[in-house]
Amino acid sequence: MESVPIRLIAAEMIAVTALIRKLEQFVRLSPADRVVLARASSDRVRKFGPRVDITREGDRPRDVHLILSGWACRYKQLDDGRRQVVSFFLPGDMCDLNVFILKEMDHSIGTITSVTIADLSRDFFDEISAGYPRIATALWWETLVNAAIQREWTMNLGQRTASERMAHLLCEIFFRLRLAGLTEGLTCEFPLTQADLADATGLSKVHVNRTLQELRAADLVILRGKVLTVPCLERLMSSGLFNPNYLHMDREGSQLDANE
Amino acid sequence: MESVPIRLIAAEMIAVTALIRKLEQFVRLSPADRVVLARASSDRVRKFGPRVDITREGDRPRDVHLILSGWACRYKQLDDGRRQVVSFFLPGDMCDLNVFILKEMDHSIGTITSVTIADLSRDFFDEISAGYPRIATALWWETLVNAAIQREWTMNLGQRTASERMAHLLCEIFFRLRLAGLTEGLTCEFPLTQADLADATGLSKVHVNRTLQELRAADLVILRGKVLTVPCLERLMSSGLFNPNYLHMDREGSQLDANE
DNA sequence: CGATTTATTGAATCGACTCAATTGATGTGG
DNA sequence: CCACATCAATTGAGTCGATTCAATAAATCG
């Protein structure tokens, strides 16, 4: 078995927890699995300030990034400046597996807050697929869930009204944070600005503001400073026509439980 | 080596060609690779009429489907009937690899035209990953491209105007058909109704109609019956702010050329 | 051929946008 | 620790893109 780093500093320790906690929604990992993940997450760590790019459209993809702490987003931009956030990365999230087989990035990845990432190499994935079937399955699950999230965003932008769309996005983020163990009861940190929400929902900043006021007036959310509270998740879900099925948070892969 | 079916009927023969032609945009396949793909495509073939569901939201996913002929789409629907097409399947397209690790489908797959599909089993993918690295790479490439397409749709719905959006969608379809060898010069078959286009672009049917009239008036498309002609692809591309980079049609994987 | 689906047109309405100004927060340096 | 600068949030007013409703024309199919 691989050697384990003696200790991880607090932030990364939390982050590995977020990843493991998320993956364990799907498969139960063995101690050895956890060790491999912890090692991968402590090797080649980089830190970024808020509001900077980690990768730009056109760059050659080199590694897979694992978000250890902080929030980031994937975005695409048109020449005239129109910008669309196409996904958010929360702690424990990983960008596309195997991107390095592509020649260049078709989108950028930028930070929202300060962010710590671990760069995962091709070798890591080779090692996983050779000797850690449960992790491999869990990573496939993550890939499929990410694809499902992207489809749901398509649905969100295409069919939902402004307030449904906003409620839906808030639900999704809340669910994903909770999965990663980053909520406390009904509240969570929420560093997105209204401009970020505008870029993600395809609404104007002004309309985001008005939409949030609607949600607040209906007691669906409390959003102040950088903290979100959801007084009643059920009500927010139904107002956003939110069905969590696309997050596939079931323990289906538990037939792959580690039983050593 | 596996035994090859003596002969394939015309339609499937074309379809295998579409798949191989598409994958070869990325890696060059060996004769043995082609044989494996041809065998997989001729095993367990099913036919569907137009406008029927192949899979429904909530179903347990069993196989990966490969479209041999015809057009299909993935769609999601809200309780009140609002419907969003989240992707189109053209001949040679495959739905998500490894879906069978999920418990239930979060979307439906329905046909547009009559469709022939091949069901690909878990075993097939095990065989590929064990012994056909070029195919495995090509399938990863397809997965990554599909994810990129979904992101581009998010961009399309979130940021582009109605006519840009329509032009963009038509460009994408034309490019993808051309990649599969299904265009003839500037024209291709185009079985989508205006209602389909509405569901895919998030516009109303009426507005789709008016948007198409705009594009026609600007000589950007000729769309009659079930045939699309693009008089000048460059002009349609620029009117749709279409940048084909997200289709990753480069021969980057050619370092994986078969050279036996 | 009639029946049904698909495409087209007009008119009225509404949701979301732009522009522009103001208020409120956050943060930094003197 | 306050003053200023900057960034984020809020408000109002006018406009426009896209919608709905409803009716008609054209195409397709059995």
* Residues A9-34, mean pLDDT to the nearest whole number: 82
B44 in any annotated domain: yes
Tokens of B45: 């073939």
Look at residue B228 and tell me whether its pLDDT is greater than 50.
yes
Look at residue B68 and tell me whether its pLDDT is greater than 50.
yes
Q: What is the pLDDT of residues B114-166, one digit of tens each?
A: 999 999 999 999 999 999 999 999 999 999 999 999 999 999 999 999 999 99
Domain that holds residue A203: 11-256
A144 in any annotated domain: yes
Do the Cβ atoms of B147 and A96 come within 8 Å?
yes
Nearest chain A Cα to B148, which residue? Answer: A106
Strand D contact nucleotides, protein CB < 7 Å: 8-13, 17-22, 27-28
pTM: 0.93
Contacts of B153 in chain A (CB under 8 A): 154
Percent of chain B beyond pLDDT 90? 87
Does A100 reach chain B within 8 Å, measured CB to CB?
A: no
Cα–Cα distance measured from residue B138 to residue B144, given in angstroms and rounded to the nearest whole number? 10
B55: confidence class by pLDDT, cuts 50, 70, 90? very high
Q: How many CB atoms are located within 10 Å of the residue B102 CB?
A: 22
pLDDT of residue B5: 43
DSSP alpha helix (H) spans, chain B: 10-23, 31-42, 122-131, 133-159, 162-179, 194-201, 205-217, 233-239
Give the SS3 label for residue B130. helix
Which position has the token pair 């079916």? B5
Look at residue B10 and tell me whether its pLDDT is greater than 90.
no
Is nucleic acid strand D under 7 Å from A210's C-beta? yes
Is nucleic acid strand D under 7 Å from B210's C-beta? yes
Closest-approach nucleotide to residue A192, Cα vs C1': D8
Cα–Cα distance measured from residue B166 to residue B194, given in angstroms and rounded to the nearest whole number? 11
Cα–Cα distance measured from residue A86 to residue B155, given in angstroms and rounded to the nearest whole number? 7
Is nucleic acid strand C under 7 Å from A207's C-beta? yes
* Residues B67-83, mean pLDDT to the nearest whole number: 97
The answer for B 17-56 residues in CB contact with A (under 8 A) is none
Residue closest to C24, CA→C1'? A225
Smallest CA-to-CA distance from B232 within B215, B208, B246 is with B215
B225: confidence class by pLDDT, cuts 50, 70, 90? confident
Q: What is the pLDDT of residues A109-137, one digit of tens each?
A: 999 999 999 999 999 999 999 999 999 99
pLDDT of residue A236: 98
Distance D4 C1' – A164 CA (angstroms): 40
* Residues B80-103, mean pLDDT to the nearest whole number: 96
Q: What is the DSSP letter of B250?
A: S
* Residues A230-257, mean pLDDT to the nearest whole number: 86
- When divided into structural domains, chain B yields a total of 1
Nearest chain B Cα to A82, which residue? Answer: B159
* Residues A61-87, mean pLDDT to the nearest whole number: 96
Do the Cβ atoms of A150 and B152 come within 8 Å?
no
Residue B145, C-beta contacts closer than 8 angstroms, at least 6 positions apart: B246, B247, B248
A6 in any annotated domain: no
Look at residue A254 and tell me whether its pLDDT is greater than 80.
no
Cα–Cα distance measured from residue B73 to residue B109, given in angstroms and rounded to the nearest whole number? 6
B6 in any annotated domain: no
* Residues B34-61, mean pLDDT to the nearest whole number: 95
A198 in any annotated domain: yes
Cα–Cα distance measured from residue A70 to residue A111, given in angstroms and rounded to the nearest whole number? 8
Contacts of A100 in chain B (CB under 8 A): none
B2: confidence class by pLDDT, cuts 50, 70, 90? very low
Contacts of A141 in chain B (CB under 8 A): 101-102
The answer for B 52-91 residues in CB contact with A (under 8 A) is 57, 74, 76, 78-79, 82-84, 86-87
Calculate helix-pair angle for A122-131, A133-159, nearest 10 degrees.
120
pLDDT of residue A10: 53
Contacts of B60 in chain A (CB under 8 A): none
pLDDT of residue A43: 87
Distance D11 C1' – A210 CA (angstroms): 10
Percent of chain B beyond pLDDT 70? 90
Smallest CA-to-CA distance from B18 within B77, B82, B68 is with B68
pLDDT of residue A164: 98
Average pLDDT score over chain B: 91
Does B141 reach chain A within 8 Å, measured CB to CB?
A: yes
Is nucleic acid strand C under 7 Å from B206's C-beta? yes
* Residues B220-235, mean pLDDT to the nearest whole number: 96
Average pLDDT score over chain A: 91
pLDDT of residue A17: 84
Q: What is the pLDDT of residues B245-256, one digit of tens each?
A: 999 997 655 545
A4 in any annotated domain: no
A219 in any annotated domain: yes
Contact (Cβ atoms closer than 8 angstroms) between residue B22 and residue B89: no
Residues 135-194 of chain A in contact with strand D via CB under 7 angstroms: 193-194
Is nucleic acid strand C under 7 Å from B209's C-beta? yes
Among A76, A245, A250, select the one facing B155 at the smallest CB separation: A76
B14: confidence class by pLDDT, cuts 50, 70, 90? low
Query: In whole angstroms, how far apart are CA A203 and each of A109, A133, A199, B34?
Result: 21, 42, 7, 47
Contacts of B141 in chain A (CB under 8 A): 101-102
Min distance A85 CA to chain B CA atoms (Å): 8
Query: How many CB pairs (< 8 A) connect A and B?
Result: 124
Contacts of A157 in chain B (CB under 8 A): 154, 157-158, 202
In this predicted structure, which of A188-202, A245-259, B87-101, B208-222 has the lowest mean pLDDT? Answer: A245-259
A133 in any annotated domain: yes
What CATH code is carried by the domain that includes residue B149? 2.60.120.10
